[in-house]
Structure 1
Amino acid sequence: MTNKMIHINYSPQHDDLVNLFMKDNREKYIICNEQLRDLVVNIDMENKEETINKIIELILIILKNKNLKEYIWSNYRNLNDEEKDKVYLEAKYLLDKKEPFIINTIYNKLVEIIDTGESLNIDGFFRFRMRDFMVYISIISDIALEEYLIKRDKNQFINTLKYFIESQDSKIDLLIIHIMEDGNFKFYDQNRIEIKDNNTEKMISMIIKEDLNYEDFLISTLINLCPKKIEIIDDLRDEISEEIIENIKIIFENNVKVTFKQ
C-alpha cells in the first residue's frame, strides 16, 4: 500500500461548515491538530479517487460558503444583510447548477498536484489554479443580483396591485379567465358570457398599439373588474401560464380556482 502526504495550508477556524467537514473526515483523510490547522491529507494511492473526492468536497464548501459570500458582502454594499442573503441564495443556486462542470475542473487540477507531489495550499489553489472560477463567481453573483432586483420589483408591484384591488369595490362576483393554447386570454362572467366592454376593447387597442404583452392586458382587466373570485381555465399549461396563475394567486389568495384542459 502506497501513501502520499499532501499538505494543506488553510486555517478554517471561523468557517463552521469547514470545521464540521474536518471533524467528520480527519481520522480517515486528514491529519491536523486540535485547532484544525497544519492540515495534511493522507492519500492511499490505491484509493486515490475516494480521497480526491473528499478534497473536492472541502473545496466546494469553501467556494460556496466563504468565497461566494465574501464577494457578495464586499461588492454589494448598497444592500442590507437581508438582501445580501437573498442574493447569496440565488447565486448559490446558480452555482449548484454548474457543479458537475466545477467538480470536473477541480478534479483535473487536483490530480495534477497529487501526481507532481506538490503541497496543496488552499488559498494559493483558489488564487492561481482557480482564478477563472473567481471571475466566474463575480459573473454569477451579478446575475443573481439582477434576478433578485427583478423579483423584488415584481413583488413590490404585485403587493401594490393587491392593495389597490382590495381597496376597490368589486364589479363582478366571478371572473373566468380562459388562457388559450395560443397564449391569448378570454374573459367570462359567472354565467359563462364572454366579457367584451368598451374598456376591454380600449385595453386591447392600447396593447396592440404599444406592443405590450397579454399579461399586461390581464393585469389591466383585473384592475378594471376587481372580481371577488376568479376561475382560471389553463389550456396553455407552460411556464408562462404557471407564472401568471401564481401571480394571480398572490393577489387573490384563496379566491382562485384553477382547472386544466383534459
Structure 2
Amino acid sequence: MSAILSIGASRNLDGLNHRFMQEIRALAGEGWRLSMRQERSNGVHQLTLFLEDHPEGESLDEMTLILRQFGARVLMDWILEVWEGELIQKRLRAEYPHFHDRERRQIGDKAAHILKRKEEVSKEYIMYRISHDQRILERLVEVLVDYGRIHVDGFLRFRFQDYLQAVDDAVDSAVDEYTMEKEYNEFIHLLRYFLDIQESRLEVVHVYLCPGGFRLLDEGGNPVNNEVVDGISRDYLEHDEISFEDLLISALVTVAPVQVVLHSREEKPVSETLNTIRAVFGDRLHRCPGCERCQPYTSVMAPKKMQP
C-alpha cells in the first residue's frame, strides 16, 4: 500500500474526503484499488489517499503523477467553494466585529459574488477567470507533484498571498456596498416617514424629466409653486453640486401628491432616481406611456437649473 498524496488543514476535511471518494470511484472498475484515511492530530486534520493495488503492467509512477494532478484539481475546487467562505468570515470577524451574524452572512455572500464576478460575461472576464483558476491549480500541482503533501493553511499563507489579498479586498468592498445599501434603506425609510406625515397638497403632480433637470406641473398643466419648492430652487442656484435627482425627490416629498406621473423622453429614465421615487411613493407612482404633453417638455432643450 502506497501513500499517493496527503492533505493537511486546520479545518475539518469531511467534505473534501467525500469529493475524493466520489471522483475515484470510477477507477475501481479498471482494477485500481484506492482508499482514503482521515485523521486528526495536534489540531491538524489530515487526509491521505492510498493506492492499495493496481493492474499488472500499469506504471505506478505514472498513476501516482496522474492522481496527484487530479488531487490538485479537486483540492482547488474545494478551496474556492468551501475554504473561501471561511476566509471571508474570518476576515469579517477580525476586522468588522461590530456586525452581527446575519449581517456577516449577507456581507459574506456579497464578497463571494465579488470574487466570482458572476455578472461578468465578457471575453475579457472569461480569460481573467481562467487565468485566476489556472494560477491556483498550477501552484497546487507544483507542490503535490514534487512533494505529495500539502498543508492548505500554509500554502495559502506563503505560496498564494495574492489570493488572500483578493479575498480581503473583496470583503472590504462588500462591507462598503452593504453599508451604502443600509444607509440608502434608512434614507428611504425616513423619506417615507416624512411623506406619511405630510398633508397632500396636490392630487396629481406630473414630473417631466428633461436633459439637465425637470419640471413639475399640476393636473391643469400649471407649474407647481410653493414656498418650499421655491426655496429648494434657490438653494440649487447657490449650490451647483446638488444633483437635480436629489432636488426632484425632495420636491416631491415636500408636495406629497396623492399620485406622481412620470414623463420622460427616454424609455428608461435615470434608474437610481426612478428606483428611489418608486421605493418612496410605491403605488402612488405611475409611468406615462406617452402623451401629447410629453413632447414639448421632454424633447426641447431644458434649462440647466431646476425650474419649478
| TM-score under structure 2 length normalisation | 0.70
Query: What SS does the corresponding residue of 2:207 show, helix, strand or coil?
Result: strand
Q: Aligned residue for 1:203?
A: 232
- 1:72 touches 1:141 (CA, 8 Å); kept in 2? yes
The match for 1:26 among 16, 21, 24 is: 21
Percent identity (aligned):
18
Q: Aligned residue for 1:85?
A: 105
TM-aligned CA deviation for residue 136 of structure 1: 2.6
Query: What SS does the corresponding residue of 2:23 show, helix, strand or coil?
Result: coil
Larger Rg: 2
Q: How does 1:139-154 map to 2 (within 5 A)?
A: 139-154=169-184
- 2:262 touches 2:285 (CA, 8 Å); kept in 1? yes
- Say if 1:21 and 1:110 are closer, same or farther in 2 by CA, change over 3 A: closer
Write out per-residue CA displacement over residues 62-118 of structure 1, whole angstroms, 9 at most, x where no aligned residue.
442111111102221122223222322222221121881542321231232244344
TM-aligned CA deviation for residue 159 of structure 1: 0.2
The match for 1:68 among 76, 88, 99 is: 88
Q: How does 1:1-262 map to 2 (within 5 A)?
A: 5-10=4-9, 12-13=11-12, 19-20=14-15, 22-29=17-24, 31-33=35-37, 38-40=46-48, 52-97=72-117, 100=129, 102-180=132-210, 182-197=211-226, 199-210=228-239, 211-236=241-266, 241-259=270-288
When the two chains are superposed, the root-mean-square deviation of aligned CA atoms in Å is 3.3
Q: C-alpha distance in 2, partners of 1:187/1:44?
A: 76
Q: C-alpha distance in 2, partners of 1:261/1:109?
A: 60
Query: What SS does the corresponding residue of 2:114 show, helix, strand or coil?
Result: helix
- 2:111 touches 2:170 (CA, 8 Å); kept in 1? yes
- 1:12 touches 1:19 (CA, 8 Å); kept in 2? no
- Say if 1:54 and 1:198 are closer, same or farther in 2 by CA, change over 3 A: same
TM-aligned CA deviation for residue 35 of structure 1: 6.6
Q: Which moved more, 1:86-95 or 1:219-228?
A: 86-95
TM-aligned CA deviation for residue 196 of structure 1: 4.8
Write out per-residue CA displacement over residues 5-34 of structure 1, whole angstroms, 9 at most, x where no aligned residue.
332113543xxxx64454244242595336
Write out per-residue CA displacement over residues 126-154 of structure 1, whole angstroms, 9 at most, x where no aligned residue.
11112222223222222222222222112
Q: C-alpha distance in 2, partners of 1:88/1:194?
A: 48
Q: C-alpha distance in 2, partners of 1:209/1:136?
A: 43
- 2:202 touches 2:257 (CA, 8 Å); kept in 1? yes
- Say if 1:93 and 1:20 are closer, same or farther in 2 by CA, change over 3 A: same
TM-aligned CA deviation for residue 166 of structure 1: 0.8
Question: Which structure 2 segments of 5+ residues have no match?
Answer: 25-33, 51-62, 118-124, 292-308
- Say if 1:207 and 1:104 are closer, same or farther in 2 by CA, change over 3 A: farther
TM-aligned CA deviation for residue 61 of structure 1: 2.2
Q: C-alpha distance in 2, partners of 1:161/1:184?
A: 21
Letter in 2 for 1:26: M
- 1:4 touches 1:45 (CA, 8 Å); kept in 2? no
- 1:56 touches 1:106 (CA, 8 Å); kept in 2? yes
Q: Aligned residue for 2:120?
A: none
Paired residues, number: 254
